[in-house]
A and B are shown apart, each in its own frame.
Chain A
């Protein structure tokens, strides 16, 4: 079955700098890759996603890149702000039951 690995587990960056979180997946049939942001005590919030027919997608300060050959995808956050502090989860899907397979999460800390 599918397996998603995410790293780093914790990332601390200076406010204004960029942050990059990386995930790898094992099932070449996966074709949908979302990223969720979860603040403490809140629900996971879908912030951006990408499908396998696209190599990159941007939405203001966030972007996701996908390398199908290497089976990895990354979240890029530019000009980080204090409100970006949260846990970020990657996931992969593409099987018939639409189930998301989740990474273990990255705690992003923005230092003032």
Chain B
């Protein structure tokens, strides 16, 4: 399967614990995005990478959230000291190289439940 993959697909954690999610973009896609989605809402932008550089981070994003893409391939999203309000679907998307390549392809998401 050459699509965007995410791991794990589901994560249940207790409040206060740290969690880390992984995203593997489509091969040779150089742009990678993280979104959060709650039931009945559209995707909420979290952060964006072009290659290994993190170019934008949502102003709404707490300091407890951090993302990396060390080699410009896969990316990780870490949430420290999780809160119940962090429960959501975390989606990753990637875009092809190219000045006019805006299309984003999504992975299956990681569903986080904080108890």
Chain B contacts with A in 77-115, Cβ cutoff 8 A: 91, 95, 100-109
B45 at the interface (CB under 8 A from A): yes
When the two chains form their complex, are residues A43 and B42 in contact, meaning their CB atoms are under 8 A apart?
no
Most buried by A among B43, B95, B109: B43
Q: Is the CB of B103 within 8 A of A102?
A: no
- B31 sits at the interface (CB 8 A): yes
8 Å CB interface, B11-44 against A: 31, 33, 40-43
Total interface residues on B, CB under 8 Å, equals 22
A46 touches B42 (CB 8 A): no
Choose one: A32, A44, A89, A104; the contact of B102 (CB below 8 Å). Answer: A32
Which label, helix, strand, loop or mixed, suits the secondary structure of the B interface? Answer: loop
Which of the listed residues B45, B56, B104, B107 has the most CB atoms from chain A within 10 Å of its own CB?
Answer: B104
Main secondary structure of the interface of A (DSSP, over half): loop
Q: How many residues of A contact B (CB 8 A)?
A: 20
A97 to B108, CA, bound (A): 23
Write the residues of chain A forming the contact surface with B, with a CB cutoff of 8 angstroms: 32, 34, 42-46, 49, 51, 89, 93-94, 97-100, 102-105
